[in-house]
Amino acid sequence: MIVMFTDFGVTGLYTGQVKAALHRDAPGVPVVDLIDDAPACRVQAAAYLLAALAGAFPPGAVFLAVIDPGVGSARRPVLLRANGQWFVGPDNGLFELVARRAAAPRWWEITWSPPRLSATFHGRDLFAPVAASLARGAGVPGREREDAAGGCPDWPDDLAEIIYIDGFGNAITGIRAAAVPPEAGLSAGGMRIGRARTFSDVPAGSLLCYENANGLLEIAANQGRAADRLELSVGAPVVVGL
């Protein structure tokens, strides 16, 4: 399968054009819309989110991951092979956490170029055809390299910030629940938020911090919108505390 992870937006013309390119070049291969509203141009936040979500997909899955504020610049297009999965996208740090948490990551620089390459839409013109080629089982269209020039080794293993706010107003952090004590809560938006197992463990309207379904610490309000109440946005800091 091909898994789309982009900031192209729920509405507009970009996601549809990329999917058309995928169906043209890899007919019959399932395309999964994992996320099309990743935080726009926020590569670091997206990197922690991608690393948390990728594990739910089987070996052989091809991730078309495009958060690319430097599109058309000197940043390189790359392929990453990690835990049996492929990741296709820009060499800007987006795959840093996926590679860091993999047993034996391997990198390639994409050397193939299409006959027509828009300066501003590599997702459609370059990354989609490469992802489709990999999904069909074709050869790797690039040269292997030791690492990614756009890697960000100074980024922390867990990011103490909000990396995504979902449609319910829940605020997802870049902190893996397994990386902190099980009773640890969070402070955010000027408030201390205690740990709970699930929403109904606290009264309606109350805030809670919990391990979400993807293993990250998340802030929510039982039947409410925590992000609105705490005035949280992507990049807002959080502090772990007991």
Note the pLDDT of residue 161: 98
| 52-78 pLDDT tens trace | 999 999 999 999 999 999 999 999 999
What average pLDDT does this structure show over 103-110?
94
Note the pLDDT of residue 65: 98
State both tokens at 109: 């620089």
State both tokens at 124: 């459609």
Whether residue 40 is predicted with pLDDT greater than 70 in this model: the reply is yes
Whether residue 144 is predicted with pLDDT greater than 90 in this model: the reply is yes
Residue at token pair 């958060």: 67
Note the pLDDT of residue 139: 84
Whether residue 98 is predicted with pLDDT greater than 90 in this model: the reply is yes
Average pLDDT, the chain: 95
pLDDT band of residue 146 (cuts 50, 70, 90) is: confident
pLDDT band of residue 195 (cuts 50, 70, 90) is: very high
Backbone angles phi, psi at 199, to 5 degrees: -55, -45
| 166-176 pLDDT tens trace | 999 999 999 99
CATH architecture of the domain with range 159-241: Beta Barrel (2.40)
Report the CATH fold assignment for 2-145: Rossmann fold (3.40.50)
Whether residue 149 is predicted with pLDDT greater than 70 in this model: the reply is no
| 205-214 pLDDT tens trace | 999 999 999 9
Note the pLDDT of residue 150: 67
Taking the C-alpha atoms of residue 171 and residue 219, their distance in angstroms, rounded to an integer, is 5
Do residues 162 and 172 lie in contact, with contact meaning Cβ atoms separated by under 8 Å? yes
Whether residue 148 is predicted with pLDDT greater than 90 in this model: the reply is no
Taking the C-alpha atoms of residue 26 and residue 16, their distance in angstroms, rounded to an integer, is 15
Query: Domain locations in the chain?
Result: 2-145, 159-241
Note the pLDDT of residue 44: 97
Note the pLDDT of residue 10: 85
pTM value? 0.95
> In sequence order, what DSSP letters do the residues of 215-234 get, joined into one string?
SEEEEEETTB-HHHHHT--T
